[in-house]
Amino acid sequence: MCHHHSHKNLLIRLCTAAVLFIISGLSGDNLFFIAAYIIAGYDIILKAFKNIINGEIFDENFLMSIASLGAITIGEYPEAAAVMILYQLGEYLQHKAVEKTKKSITNLMDIRPDYANIECNGKLIKTDPKDIKIGEIITVKTGEKIPLDGVVIDGFANIDTSALTGESMPVHLKSGDLAISGSINLNGLLKIKVEKEFSESTVSKILELVEHAQSKKSKTENFITKFAKYYTPIVVLCALLLAVIPPIILDTDFSIWFERALTFLVISCPCALVISIPLTFFAGIGGASKEGILIKGACYLEILSKPYAIVFDKTGTLTKGTFTVKKICPQNSFTEDEILKFAANAEKYSDHPIALSIKKAYQNPNLNAENIEEIAGKGIKASVENSKILVGNSDLMENFHIKYTKHDNASVYIAINGKFAGYIIISDELKEDTAAAISALKKYKIIMLTGDNKKFADYIGKQAGISEIYSNLLPHQKVEKIEELIDENRDSVIFVGDGINDAPVLTRADVGIAMGNLDAALEASDIVIMDNKPSKVAKAITLSQKTMKIVKENIILTLMIKFLFLVLGSFGIITMWGAVFADVGVTLLAIANSLRTIINKKIFYDKLILWTEKL
């Protein structure tokens, strides 16, 4: 905690310096001013000196040191001491503001479990989640966080997953369900068999992501760092010219212009930008995580704000990835019921998604089929109630020389006793919010890519409201399609997939957004949507645009105010005191502006009203 300690020290130093400053003002003794100056600012001068030795000359420590030491050389002791005290006070306030913000953002991500309960001799013992092995059984009581990923083996409960997914509705968990770490048990007692160690579980993956998010800097942040590198030497040069040229030309007193030059240096500190820009990105990432959108770095937030095309994978992204029987089409005087009964019975042991959907549609438990024989890649042969049944694709029909009529959207064909009985259409369903998600993105180019056949892809695309659809694609063809789009336009190409077989495409797009299957998705994607909702894509884009708007506002606001004060300082209208106030003021303004991404306006206004009533 030495970090915290140093700020406490700074506060003590500031108070001492302020007291000395007052004594000095009352007694008129400059020695106290010098003491106040040294106590308040020795570390600034040391840092500036160290940096000069390391070859990093121009930074704010250097600017402050030159300005204040310059003031001492012309006998302006109170000015030098006051500037140092004010500057350090500003630093302290900025630090506090940034720390508070970061804390509030990290609290949003308050999902780190403190302990896990393990039963030992009939007693529950709190254990560090890191020490728990796969296969152990943990107990989660009401109100506790689920510490590790696993399967519920006993009990049932409603679970709050809002910290992970931003979804406010509780999820019901029962035996056999997957429990995800980081969610909170609202009511009930769960016994969970651990399936992943702590370091591999969802919680640690998410926390790791959020912690590393700051290391991937955006272009704007890199620009600010570069900007400060060139900006400071230019300012120092201007200050030198300001000190030297006017006295020569106007033949006036040198000390006035020297003092103005020092003021000019103080004003030019670029802290407002250096502090507020990274903070804005951090707040943007924090605000997104509250919505169940994990962004892996500021750079992605910036790229996301300028979309050209948004490309969706179909299965599992726009659709639920679960199959349902849509239509039964009998032929040759067979009935729908017969077809369904024979097909479901023949598929008795199959766990293929299509077979499961047929059994689900039949809903009759006594499935009596014998001599079931699976014909690889084609279908199933079985006898049900003394009838010979074939259920499968067109290859199966041809194999057994069945005279059948081919249908484009048929999922399975059925033959009964060597006679073509009809076919069943099975399809995937759209997610509830897909259509809304697509219409929210209307102003961009929207494309759907899928490995599925054209007819089905077009059907889903039409339901979702997407007109540009590419079907029958292999994974490498999806990548080629993305590359074509990237070549078409300078703005970003965003790919949204469910991460199961999209890793190459997720990686290739300017921004890869994955939803659902965490393990695969977390590795390859740049943004993860925790709750499978395509509508979160539009939300992520809006958030990123809001963040970038605040970044631009901060840059413009800071530079305008700085410029104004530089002009005022050059004409001697404001002095060094004013300069420091301006610097701290602008920085705090910029920090306050940064927080707009995460602060809920309504809460803010409510607090304001309460506060004014108190007054």
- 132-168 pLDDT, tens digit per residue, is 888 889 999 888 889 999 999 988 888 887 767 666 6
pLDDT at 445 over 80: yes
Pairing state between β 190-194 and 150-154: antiparallel
Is a pLDDT exceeding 50 seen at residue 1? no
Helix (H) or strand (E) holding 348: none
446 strand-pairing partners: 310
- 457-490 pLDDT, tens digit each: 888 888 889 989 998 887 788 889 999 999 988 8
In whole angstroms, what is the distance from residue 87 CA to residue 84 CA? 5
Catalytic annotation, pick one of 149, 313, 452, 498: 313
pLDDT of residue 518: 56
For CA atoms 335, 336, 342, 345, the dihedral sign is negative
CB 580 within 8 A of CB 529: no
Calculate the alpha carbon distances from 471 to 226, 377, 446, 454, 534 in Å.
46, 22, 14, 5, 20
Look at residue 167 in the predicted model and tell me its pLDDT.
63
Residue 329: what pLDDT?
86
d(C-alpha 517, C-alpha 330), whole Å: 38
Percent of the chain beyond pLDDT 90?
10
Residue 449: closest CA among 408, 481, 427: 481
**pLDDT top residue among 426 and 600:** 426
**282-329 pLDDT per residue, tens:** 888 878 877 888 888 888 889 999 999 999 988 778 888 777 888 888
For the chain, give the percent of residues with pLDDT over 70.
90
Instruction: Average the pLDDT over each of 129-138, 491-500, 576-585 and give the range with the smallest value.
Output: 576-585
pLDDT tens digits for range 196-246: 888 888 777 777 766 666 667 778 877 877 777 787 788 888 888 988 888
pTM: 0.72
One DSSP character per residue, 10-59 reads HHHHHHHHHHHHHHHHHH--HHHHHHHHHHHHHHHHHHHHHHHHTT---S
**Which amino acid, one-letter code, is at 230?**
Y
| Structure confidence at residue 276 (pLDDT) | 80
Q: What is the band of 3 on the pLDDT scale with cuts at 50, 70, 90?
A: low
**Burial class for 463, CB neighbours closer than 10 Å (0-12, 13-18, 19+):** middle
Helices 77-108 and 271-290 cross at an angle (nearest 10°) of 10
Rounded distance between C-alpha atoms, residue 435 and residue 535, angstroms: 9
Name the 3-class secondary structure at 435: helix
Question: What is the mean pLDDT of the segment spanning 498-520?
Answer: 76
Tell me the pLDDT band of 4, cut-offs 50, 70 and 90. Answer: low
Place 194 in a pLDDT band, splitting at 50, 70 and 90.
very high
Tell me the C-alpha to C-alpha distance, in Å, between residue 512 and each of 106, 296, 317, 379, 466. Answer: 24, 11, 13, 37, 19
Give the CA radius of gyration of the chain: 34
Which of 322, 350, 332, 348 lies closest to 426 in space, CA to CA? Answer: 322
Confidence class of residue 598 from pLDDT cuts 50, 70 and 90?
low
Burial class for 92, CB neighbours closer than 10 Å (0-12, 13-18, 19+)? middle
Active site residue 313: yes
DSSP letter at 386 equals: T
Tens digit of each residue's pLDDT (9 = 90 or more) over 373-410: 887 778 888 888 888 888 988 888 888 888 888 887 77
Model pLDDT for residues 82-131, shown as the tens digit of each residue: 878 888 887 787 777 777 766 766 665 567 788 888 888 888 888 888 88
Q: How far apart are CA 234 and CA 49, in angstroms?
A: 20
Domains identified in the chain and CATH numbers = 116-209 (2.70.150.10), 284-318+431-543 (3.40.50.1000), 320-430 (3.40.1110.10)
Mean pLDDT, residues 525-551: 89
Closest CA to 374 of 386, 360, 363, 390: 390
What order do you get walking across the sheet with 116-120 strand by strand?
123-127, 116-120, 137-140, 190-194, 150-154, 178-179
Q: Is the pLDDT of residue 39 over 70?
A: yes
pLDDT on residue 540: 93
The yes-or-no verdict on residue 272 having pLDDT over 80 is no
Which of these, 586, 565, 564, lies nearest to 574 by C-alpha position? Answer: 565
Residue 152 near residue 216, CB atoms below 8 Å: no
* CA dihedral of 522, 501, 150, 200, whole degrees rounded to 10: -30
pLDDT at 524 over 60: yes
| Cβ proximity of 513 and 529 under 8 Å | yes
Query: Do the beta carbons of residue 278 and residue 298 sit within 8 Å?
Result: yes
Q: Within 251-335, where are the H helices?
A: 254-267, 271-290, 298-304
Q: Count CB atoms within 10 A of the CB of residue 331.
A: 16
Element (H, E) at 163: helix 162-165
Residue identified by tokens 């049944």 is: 389
Phi-psi region of 201 (alpha: psi -120 to 50; beta: other; left: phi over 0): beta
Residue 455 pLDDT > 80: no
Give the mean pLDDT of 253-260: 83
The DSSP output letter for 131 is G
Share the mean pLDDT of the chain. Answer: 82
pLDDT digit string (tens) for 411-426?
789 998 888 888 988 8
